[in-house]
Each structure stands twice: as structure tokens, then as C-alpha cells.
Structure 1
Amino acid sequence: MDAIDDLNRWMMTEGRVSNDPTKVVSHFCTTLIDAGIPLWRANIGQRFANPLLIAWGIVWTPESTETYDVTHARMLTDGYIGSAFEYILENQRPLHKSLRDLDPETDHVSYLELAQAGGTDYYATLLTYGDQSQHGCTFATQSPDGFSAKHLQMIEAAKPGLSAALEPVTMRKSSKSLLRTYLGDGPSEAVWSGTIQRGERTTLEAVVMFSDLRGFTALSDCSEESVVFDALEGYFDVVVQSVEEMGGDVLKFMGDGILSIFPIRSAADRAHQCQQATRAAKGVLSGLATLNQRRAETGKPPLDIGIGINVGQVSYGNIGSPGRLDFTVLGKAVNVASRIEGLTKAIGQRVLATRSVAETTPELFTACGSHEVRGLAESVDLFHLSDPT
């Protein structure tokens, strides 16, 4: 067992501080092979503390090492139900299973796929971390003799080192994923690095897009909560997907309002980001049309929105009390985007933009006059999309 002792030492020292899960798993598996374990495939699954993703993991083979994510929805499918991961978590014990003579009617599809690829034997076991969270790992072989009792003992003996190396990686990934889920990519990185503390702010130029669901108050007043949440989730999906596809960050959900920004990192980037925000707005309208088709098929009323786009200087940072913070973005550019969105219904256009945005793609916009905007001394020239489709 000297090789396993050496492996544990490496995992608890170099592996633990590497912050490279692919390197850790690759070293773990190749060392097991060198120690005499006929390893063909390994799947190291790590559970997330995240409302969107429930797990991530690494699949190792001698040819490649790949990472994957698992959503909560996946846990309700046949991909998880009846799998080895479900078994070990539910029964709190390892699983050793031959991949020979499987029954297609009763054996899980993952076993059948491994057997079809040449697998002969399979072992699944738990990793337990310091916070008592549990994670799974599975191993498969193509050896005609399968895994021996000694092989399984060696795998179990090597688990403390693997846990020591992967636990800090998993904790960091969980924390970062939570920040990204609630703050978006750019702000989450700033908060994670500690550059935005309470009272601090970052000032930058950005394109601001504010979208709002029309008729939301009436929908809330006359509908059950499940109906309201269903409408919000569909609307949020459409906006977030469109913004992120165009490289923007969704910063805030405010009831049915969504605040997004497209940061401008240089003068040369200004026109491009205005165009990206415009494309995102068009993507929202297209996505909403598709959503409304699906809603109509189930007898649900259509949803409508208003979008305001502006560009200018904004400041974002953490505000609040010593024990409770909120991440927010402030500035005149934000206020104008919000208030011109409020004019969309009165003007009769779903997307309105200021001149500084519209002039970057004049072929996409049509002037709709100068309008008074609450809080501003001077009226603002507004433009609507010439072809919203």
C-alpha cells in the first residue's frame, strides 16, 4: 500500500493547493493504474449548493478528462433515478456490481451503456467532506477478472486524499456559482476577489437595458401564485438568455423588472456594446413571441413587455448594513433607462432607446420625437425599433 500512501500525501499537499480538479482526478486515476488497479473509467461527482445546479463532476478515461454540470431537473429523470449515485446516497454504502449478464428490463441504462462499451465490473462509493456533505465516485474496468477485493480496498484507502484535494475546489466552485447566479459574471468576480466591499463602488460606462412585464400588477391581483410564478419564470428565461447570449450581465430582478448592463471597457467598445444591447432587445421580442405561442397552446394569456435602453456612466457596489449587504447599480444612465421603459406603453412601442444608442445602428431605429422624462430638466430624443421582429 506504499503507492496509496504516497498518493494520499500528494493529494493532501500538492493536489489540495492546485485548484485544478482535472489534474487531481487524472493523477488519482493514473496512480491507481500504476498501483495495479485495472481502471478503465472514473466519474467523480461533486454536489453543489446552488439553486440552479445540483452537481458538477469529472469523467476520466485514459484518453480524455471532461467536466460536466447537473441541473436540478436532471435529478428527476431516469438518468439519475435508479443510478449508482442514487443508490449510494440513499443507502449510505458502496455498490459493487458486475456488468456481465445484465437485464435490459431492470438494470439502469448507465450499466447497460458501460457493458456495451466493454465494461466488465463497476464500483461506486461515497466521499464525505468536513461539512458532512456527501459526494459520489464511480469506477469501471474492462478487465476480464473485474475488480478484486484488494482493488476495492485500495480505492477506499485512497479516498481520504481525493476528498482532501477536491473539497476546497468544490467549496470554491459552490461559492463562485452562487455569486454568479445572483450577481452575474462580472460583478461576481469583483465581489469574489474582494474589490467591492461595503461602501466601495466601481464606476464605469455601460449600456443599460431595463425591461418590465406589462400588466403584471393585474396578473398578480387576479391570478393564483402558481400562475404568476409560471409567467415570471418564462419571461425571466427569455430575457436572461437574450442578454447573456449578447455578452451582457443581468444584475437585478426587481419584481417583474430586470436590470441588465453591457459594460464598455474602451472607447472603441462603445458602439459594439450598444449594438449588442439592441440585438439582445430584439432577441427578447423573438423569444417572447415563441413563449406566447406555447402559452396559447395551453390556454394561457400572452405576455407583453417594455424595454428601455440607454448608455452612460454607472456605479455599482455593495450597500447596506454591516450585517446585510445588497449589490446594486446606480447612476443617471440607469434612471433614464428605467424611465424611458415607462414611456413604452404611452408611445406605443415595446423598445425605446436614447439617441446615443440608436445612432450606433441607425438602420434599426426610427425617431419617435422628443419626450419629457421624469426627473430630467430637458426632454430626451427617443427612438424605437424599425422592425421589432
Structure 2
Amino acid sequence: MGEAASSSLIVEGRNVIVTEVFERPAAERPDHDTIERIIEWLIGDARQIGSFARTIDELSWRLVAAGIPLLRVNLRGGTLHPQFLGSAYVWWRTSAQTQEIMITHEVADLVPPAQNPVMRVRAGEILRRSLEGPEAQLDFSILHDLKARGATDYFALPVGGAFGPRAYMAAYVTDRPGGFLEQEIADLTAVSERLSIAADMNSQRQIAQNVLKAYLGPQTGRKVLAGQIRRGSGEAIAAVLWSSDLRRFTQMSDQLPGEKVIGILNDLFDLQAKAIVNHGGEILKFVGDGLLAIFPVTSPDEANRITANALAAAKESLAALGSAQEGASLPNGSPLEIVIALHYGTVIYGNIGAADRLDFTVIGPAVNLVSRIEAVAKSLDLPLIVSDDFANAYGGRLKSLGRHQLRGLDLPHELFAPLV
């Protein structure tokens, strides 16, 4: 985990999340190296490695091959992400594994700055702690954990980079009796100073991925990052379209303070987003109190499964809303209610907008149709309605609501609701 992650308040899976684990085969670990060659590698070939966990892994094994008796290597840096404060890359010789760990913003609140070695190092302090004998200085919780695993010496220093003179923290631990030699400390310092180039490249790539994923979604974000940004570019795809909206939003906005309204919308979007993502969908945009999402269908054979997934996500969202507001209601006593419309069709998925302000979204008649179905759901006071095209692709049992003339469309459509 990160250096501050030994507090009993910090829970793996909630405050720290392992996102990558890499283990280099023993046959691929170097058996001889030098500090000079490692420095040359850091400012050269190391920049070509796509995974920074693999970079830290190779660096650690190369340092061991150069004669430095490392037990553990850790690099910490910040990031730009709505959930995560930063990332940590941790290598252990004993497990032969390197982990990429994302650390939530809440961790900074759980550990006071004076007891947090990461914050102290990134404030400019260099830490050196002997972990053996009666003179051991165990003033951080992580040091007790390291000592229990046989560590004898701890060395942490700030590493400058494009994000500031103390953008990162590098920490090295040995289990050799007597700890690090002074020449080894000098070598680790020299190596750490050259590590910033590869660390900056990783941080910039990670921030770009984080921001695009947060604002565009994982699938759309990858497309944009891969270079699909030209205005007018797009592709025709089959997909289940999801359009949802909060009922009586205007009334709610008039009755509640703005901060309360924002909190309610965030909670509603969060429970829908979890269900959508867990069933293979992706949110394209939030529009006021509503959202538009898609469940891409890569082949006709997949239509039955994808429509079933979308329907399951809709039911899950409605059930989650019911559970979330047990005993709660709006000031006038009415409950929070959302309506969801589902439609299966073909859309154009790509870039539209002004020359210097684009939106990567879906357009086409199918998008208009699903929004019209949502309006019918409100008028019929039903939480979930699907189109005839959705029903045909789904193939399961549904309740017919009859044929309805949808605003702006020439032909009526038969609409359906799930069986109770």
C-alpha cells in the first residue's frame, strides 16, 4: 500500500484499490547491472514501457542486480481524478510482485500530516529511519509493519518533476543487517533524480485517461485518446439507448436549497451509473436531471443478451432508488421518482459541435425516439417503458401498453412495460 496506508482506519478496497499486479518471471530478471546503466535506461528505454508498474518492477530488479539489497520499493505521486488523490507503485522482493494502487482522497483526512511520511516528504523532508535494535525510530505506523517483515532501514526522499520540485516520493527499504551503506544511499538518490522523466510521462498519461474517463466514459474516452477527435467523424453502431429523468424536478428545485438539489441529483446519478456500468453500459451525458446512456451491440447475435442487461440495469436502478429513500420524501411528502425509457436501434456515434468545442455522443432518429418514449412514461405514470424494437430484440415476456403516437413521428409505436 501507500506509505500512510497502515492506519487501521484505511481499508483496502475502499480507500486503496489495487488496479494492476505484475510479476516478472524469474528467468527475465537481470542478474547483473550497474547504477550507470540503470540511469541510462531510465532516461532512454524505460520511457517506452506502457505500464508504469512494469517500469518500477524492472527498476527494482535492476537495482538488486546492481548490488543494492532492497526489500521494498515504493513511488508515490498525485493525480487528477474525482475519486483518487494519487497512485502508489509498490514492489516487494519477497512476493516478487509490483502493484499499482490508487488511493482515495479520504486517506489524506484519515492520517494527520505529521504522521504521514508521504506528505512530509512531498513537503521537502528527507526521511531516514533505522528499524533495528534499541535505537530504532518507529515514528510512522508503516515502519512498524516494515520492521515486522524484517526491514532494517528506511529511506524516503522527494523527487522533482514536471508537476513541481517535490512531485513524487520515492521510498526504499532494505532487510540487510546494518541497513543501507552510505554509497547505496547516494546511488538511490541519483537513480531517483532520473526517475522523474518516466514518472512524468506516466502521470500525464494517467491524468489524461482519468479526465477523459470521468467526463466522457471509459469507451468514449479511449476513442478520444486514440485520436478520434475530428469534427464530423463517427460510425454507425447498434445499441440499446437509455434515457432517464427525474419526475417533478422543477417542483423539487423550488422547494429545496440548491446544495440539497445537487446532492439528490448526484445520488440519483450514482445509483443509475453503478447499474449501467455493471451491466455493460456507458453514460454519454447528463442533461439537467436526466441522463443518456448506451449499451453497444457488437453483433445481431448479441442483441438478446444486451437488451436483457439493459433491462436488468433499469430494474436495479429503480430498486436501488426505492431502498435509498425508505422513509424519505420531498418536503411535500411525495417520493423521488425516476422514469427510464429503453430503445434498441442504430445511431451515429462520434464528434459533433463547433470547430473548437466538440461533444462525442450519439445522434439519429433512435435518440429522438427514446426521448419521446420517456415522455410517454411520465404521462402514463410508469417508471419503465421500452420500445417495440427493444421488445423484439429482447424476446422475453413484456406487457403491451398499446400503440402510441410519439411526438414528431409519423407512425405510432407499440410500447411495453416489464411484467410485475
Normalised to the residue count of structure 1, the TM-score between the two structures is: 0.90
Q: Which amino acid in 1 is paired with 2:201?
A: P
Cα distance per residue 1:203-260 (max 9 Å; x no partner): 2111100111222222222211221121111111101110100111111011111111
1:238 is matched with which residue: 261, 266, 271? 271
Instruction: Please name the residue that 1:385 is paired with.
Output: 418
SS in 2 for 1:293: coil
Q: CA deviation at 1:343?
A: 1.9
Instruction: Please name the residue that 1:15 is paired with.
Output: 46
Q: CA deviation at 1:4?
A: 1.6
Structure 2 residue 306 is matched with structure 1 residue 273: yes
1: CA distance, partners of 2:115 / 2:222: 38
2:151 is matched with which residue: 111, 119, 134? 119
Q: CA deviation at 1:351?
A: 0.6
Q: CA deviation at 1:173?
A: 1.7
1:348 is matched with which residue: 381, 385, 410? 381
Q: Which amino acid in 2 is paired with 1:127?
A: V
SS in 2 for 1:37: coil
Gaps of 5+ in 2: 1-32
Q: CA deviation at 1:357?
A: 1.6
Aligned residue runs from structure 1 range 300-311, under 5 A: 302-311=335-344
Q: CA deviation at 1:82?
A: 2.6
Q: Which amino acid in 1 is paired with 2:88?
A: G
1: CA distance, partners of 2:365 / 2:133: 70
2: CA distance, partners of 1:166 / 1:71: 20
Q: CA deviation at 1:361?
A: 4.3
CA RMSD of aligned residues (A): 2.4
Cα pair distance change 1:100/1:219, threshold 3 Å: farther
The answer on whether the counterparts of 1:200 and 1:317 sit within 8 Å (CA) in structure 2 is: yes
Instruction: Please name the residue that 1:92 is paired with.
Output: 124
Q: Which amino acid in 2 is paired with 1:84?
A: P
Q: Which amino acid in 1 is paired with 2:126?
A: P
Q: Which amino acid in 2 is paired with 1:340?
A: I
1: CA distance, partners of 2:326 / 2:159: 46
The answer on whether the counterparts of 1:275 and 1:360 sit within 8 Å (CA) in structure 2 is: no
Normalised to the residue count of structure 2, the TM-score between the two structures is: 0.84
SS in 2 for 1:342: helix
Q: CA deviation at 1:24?
A: 1.2
Q: CA deviation at 1:302?
A: 4.3
Instruction: Please name the residue that 1:216 is paired with.
Output: 249
Q: Which amino acid in 1 is paired with 2:369?
A: V
Cα pair distance change 1:282/1:194, threshold 3 Å: same
1: CA distance, partners of 2:253 / 2:88: 40
Structure 2 residue 93 is matched with structure 1 residue 53: no
2:68 is matched with which residue: 19, 27, 37? 37
Cα pair distance change 1:225/1:195, threshold 3 Å: same
The answer on whether the counterparts of 1:295 and 1:301 sit within 8 Å (CA) in structure 2 is: no
Cα pair distance change 1:8/1:224, threshold 3 Å: same
Cα pair distance change 1:353/1:362, threshold 3 Å: same
2: CA distance, partners of 1:356 / 1:322: 35
Cα distance per residue 1:329-382 (max 9 Å; x no partner): 211111111221122222121010012223444545211221121111122111
The answer on whether the counterparts of 2:170 and 2:192 sit within 8 Å (CA) in structure 1 is: no
2:221 is matched with which residue: 177, 188, 197? 188
Q: CA deviation at 1:289?
A: 2.1
2: CA distance, partners of 1:304 / 1:114: 52
Instruction: Please name the residue that 2:14 is paired with.
Output: none
Instruction: Please name the residue that 1:228 is paired with.
Output: 261
The answer on whether the counterparts of 2:152 and 2:179 sit within 8 Å (CA) in structure 1 is: yes
Q: How many residues align?
A: 380
Cα distance per residue 1:71-116 (max 9 Å; x no partner): 2233322398732111112x3122222335899xx94432222222
SS in 2 for 1:282: helix
Cα pair distance change 1:108/1:358, threshold 3 Å: farther
Cα pair distance change 1:267/1:362, threshold 3 Å: closer
The answer on whether the counterparts of 2:303 and 2:394 sit within 8 Å (CA) in structure 1 is: no
